[in-house]
Amino acid sequence: MKMSIVFSSLTGNTKKVAYRILEVMPEGTDIYDLKDLNHEIDDELLVLGYWVDRAKPNKEMHEFMERLEGKKVITFGTLGAYPDSPHAMETIKNTNNILNDKNEVLGNFLCQGRINPQITEMFIKSGGPTGVHMMTKERIKKHKDAASHPDEKDFKNAQEFVKNIIKDYM
């Protein structure tokens, strides 16, 4: 089965994961940066990468997902939050809600991704003592922890995750 990877990435985290996943894909798999994609993709199986914005795929990938029909889809995403957090679970639920009606979702992978330090700075400045993004000790730790991701372990986990699924479609 012909497969493609399509990713959307603002600061490069998701792009890095995308290219490491490509290493385990069958020969001839295409990879597209969504911002440069200007044609339909006929392939039956798509591996879609996004960065997380408010517990959803980023806007551009969200819109791309909404247009898909009849695809088998594996999703992967990078986020500031921990991949085993309720926020991550919510993200997967929201992602599958976008895709599920018209497509078959085969699996979802998430790992942490370095948060743009300007965003952290903005939260520190604007969060305030009661703001929604108030930088509690936990939040500061989460931002610090995210700073070293995606790391080699994340890449290997992403590769294993995708490899395990696509073996049934090769």
Ligand X SMILES: Cc1cc2nc3c(=O)[nH]c(=O)nc-3n(C[C@H](O)[C@H](O)[C@H](O)COP(=O)(O)O)c2cc1C
**Which residues are near ligand X by CB under 6 A?**
9-15, 51-55, 78-81, 87, 113-116, 119
Beta-carbon-side half-sphere exposure of residue 45 (alpha carbons within 13 Å): 16
3-state secondary structure of 79: strand
Q: Which residue is nearest to ligand X (CB)?
A: 113
Question: Pairing between strand 56-57 and 45-53?
Answer: antiparallel
Q: Which is nearer to ligand X, 25 or 61 (CB)?
A: 61
For the CB of residue 131, give the shortest distance to ligand X in the complex, in Å. 15
For the CB of residue 98, give the shortest distance to ligand X in the complex, in Å. 16
Q: Which residues have a Cβ under 8 Å from the Cβ of 87 and sit 6 or more positions away?
A: 55, 79, 81
Q: Which is nearer to ligand X, 2 or 54 (CB)?
A: 54
Q: Which residues have a Cβ under 8 Å from the Cβ of 79 and sit 6 or more positions away?
A: 51, 52, 87, 88, 91, 110, 111, 112, 113
> How far, in Å, CA of 170 to CA of 165, rounded?
10
CA of 52: how far to CAs of 19, 60, 167, 169, in Å? 18, 11, 27, 28
Q: Which is nearer to ligand X, 26 or 117 (CB)?
A: 117
Tokens 């300007």, residue?
118
Q: Which is nearer to ligand X, 14 or 157 (CB)?
A: 14
Q: Which is nearer to ligand X, 45 or 81 (CB)?
A: 81
For the CB of residue 36, give the shortest distance to ligand X in the complex, in Å. 15
For the CB of residue 114, give the shortest distance to ligand X in the complex, in Å. 6
3-state secondary structure of 69: coil
For the CB of residue 93, give the shortest distance to ligand X in the complex, in Å. 14
